[in-house]
Structure 1
Amino acid sequence: MTPRQHSLSLKARANALAPLPLMAVALLLTYATVIPASLVALVDPHFAAGGPQLEKKGIAAMLLVGVIVAPLVETALTQWACIRLLRRFGCRAGVAMFASAALFGIAHTYSLFYMLMMAWVGLVLAAVFVIEDERGGRPFVLTASVHAMHNGIAALYFIFVA
């Protein structure tokens, strides 16, 4: 199997996922950043990745901003507008996805490490957007939902564990 054939089969498998399994796979992939962050924290116990620290603003603010406002605004700007605009100018889906991921990372400038972690999350969200868009689904809804669930799990961690 050539790399191109392999790439096409991955794309076909991703497109074959129904919306809920796609969301589940994407949500799991967004948490792949936990592994490098944990490894760095093992080496340097004083390491702080950074982040919005919404937990300091209270539970209501953390849930409102983190689970509702940020996913809607960031999906609108870093996936919907970015990907649609680049595709309209003839960019391939992959290029648009990487540009979207870079923009998503840049929007999270708490630290360089955090920006890189969020660029990965942005790439996953961009992939959800493109997959759902190419099959004529509801890309904004699915992407914002995965983003909201990702942030919601983080909020639950800060509410009940941290």
Structure 2
Amino acid sequence: MHATLARLSRQPVLAGGLAGLASFVAGQLLLTLLVGTPPADQAVAADAMLATNNLWLIAFMGSIWAPVFETAVAQWLPIELMQRLAAPSMVSLFASAALFSAGHMLGGGGALQGAITFVFGAVLAAIYLHFRKQGPGRAFAAAWACHCVNNSLAIAGIALGL
């Protein structure tokens, strides 16, 4: 088991992708246990994009572009800045998660999405911090892959009406 985790730690994109799958499944289970089915009128930050009905645009923007932009703004920038200021890792993690959540709430998400994105933002920050020992590029790749897989699964669920 330890050897498998050690090998996985050398492959940030694969590790991030698996973390994205695990966080999506765990998030859906937790959301279902806590609130059942989210109310139909619950605001989602991606509502405007999803209203375009262009599945290719939605897939590209939600699964590729948004994770690149959000990883740069909500993980790379705050964590690297905090590291330069010698802030403890937990402060970096909290700042990153708060920024990630605030961005989604300002983008049109409600309080429920704010809470969900704070937790997911903390997961992304933890992945970034774990892989940062191997360099910021590998950390970025791992957090980005996690975000890509998570968003892709969410978009697929919406497209399939789940």
Indicate the percent of aligned positions where both proteins have the same amino acid.
Answer: 27
Question: What's the counterpart of residue 118 of structure 1?
Answer: 117
Task: Give the TM-score of the pair, scaled to structure 1.
Answer: 0.79
Deviation at 1:61, TM superposition (A): 2.3
Deviation at 1:50, TM superposition (A): 2.6
Question: What's the counterpart of residue 55 of structure 1?
Answer: 50
What secondary structure does 1:119 align onto? helix
Return the alpha-carbon distance in structure 2 between the equivalents of residues 34 and 143 of structure 1: 19
What secondary structure does 2:51 align onto? helix
Return the alpha-carbon distance in structure 1 between the equivalents of residues 111 and 38 of structure 2: 18
Deviation at 1:107, TM superposition (A): 0.8
Question: What's the counterpart of residue 38 of structure 1?
Answer: 32
1:82–1:100 Cα contact (<8 Å) kept: yes
Question: What's the counterpart of residue 157 of structure 2?
Answer: 157
Which of 1 and 2 has higher RCO (CA within 8 Å, sep 6+)?
2
Which runs of 5 or more structure 1 residues have no equivalent in the other structure?
Answer: 1-11
> Paired residues, what number?
149
Which runs of 5 or more structure 2 residues have no equivalent in the other structure?
Answer: none
CA RMSD of aligned residues (A): 2.5
Return the alpha-carbon distance in structure 2 between the equivalents of residues 143 and 121 of structure 1: 11
Deviation at 1:55, TM superposition (A): 2.6
Deviation at 1:28, TM superposition (A): 0.7
Return the alpha-carbon distance in structure 1 between the equivalents of residues 98 and 63 of structure 2: 21
Task: Give the TM-score of the pair, scaled to structure 2.
Answer: 0.79
- Counterpart of 2:65, as a letter, is V
2:97–2:118 Cα contact (<8 Å) kept: yes
1:50–1:75 distance in 2 versus 1, CA, 3 Å: same
What secondary structure does 1:138 align onto? helix
